[in-house]
Amino acid sequence: MVVDESMPLGIIANSTAVMGVTIGKLFPEVVGQSITDQSGYSHQGIIEFPIPILKGNREFLRMMRTRLYEPDFEKLTVVDFFDIAQGCKTYSEYIEKMKEVPESAIDYFGLTLFGNKKQVNKLTGSLPLLR
């Protein structure tokens, strides 16, 4: 995941949560089985590998999103989160607003890439972790 580091912490948290839920829906096999602790209490399965949260800025996110439309990266799954989605109160409102907005007007808050590690690293390898 790459997020705009200049956003308020709450927006960063919300953006990464929304993108993570979408990845879980698209790839349910990456979520491990539920487990039981020593006391006998059950805990839901979590993703089976780390998800680094990297920091970028809106200019970088725009450039990276544009590159992700290129044929070289067509096999990567991309989940994006942006201003229009953040500003809608219902999913139907989101659907209607998106019909009126060209991609060039979208202000990206974050992008999640899933797929070939070499391709993901090609785009994100130089980015620092968000701390």
Predicted TM-score (pTM) of the model is 0.90
- The more confident residue out of 50 and 111 is 111
Q: Do residues 70 and 123 lie in contact, with contact meaning Cβ atoms separated by under 8 Å? A: no
Task: Provide the pLDDT for residue 122.
Answer: 94
Task: Provide the pLDDT for residue 92.
Answer: 96
Residue 32 belongs to some domain of the structure: yes
pLDDT, tens only, 44-56 = 999 999 999 999 9
Rounded mean pLDDT, 57-63: 95
Residue 129 belongs to some domain of the structure: no
Residue 130 belongs to some domain of the structure: no
Residue 9 belongs to some domain of the structure: yes
Task: Report how far Cα 11 is from the mean position of its chain's Cα atoms.
Answer: 13
Residue 131 belongs to some domain of the structure: no
Q: How many folded domains does the chain comprise?
A: 1
- Give whole-number Cα distances, 82 to 32, 42, 88, 127, in Å: 29, 35, 11, 20
- pLDDT bin (cut points 50, 70, 90) of residue 90 is very high
Output the domain CATH number for residue 86: 3.40.1490.10
pLDDT, tens only, 61-71 = 999 999 999 99
pLDDT, tens only, 18-38 = 999 999 999 999 999 999 999
Range of the domain at 35: 2-124
Residue 71 belongs to some domain of the structure: yes
Rounded mean pLDDT, 67-84: 96
- pLDDT bin (cut points 50, 70, 90) of residue 7 is very high
H helices of the chain, in order, are 9-26, 58-67, 83-87, 91-98, 117-124
Task: Provide the pLDDT for residue 66.
Answer: 95
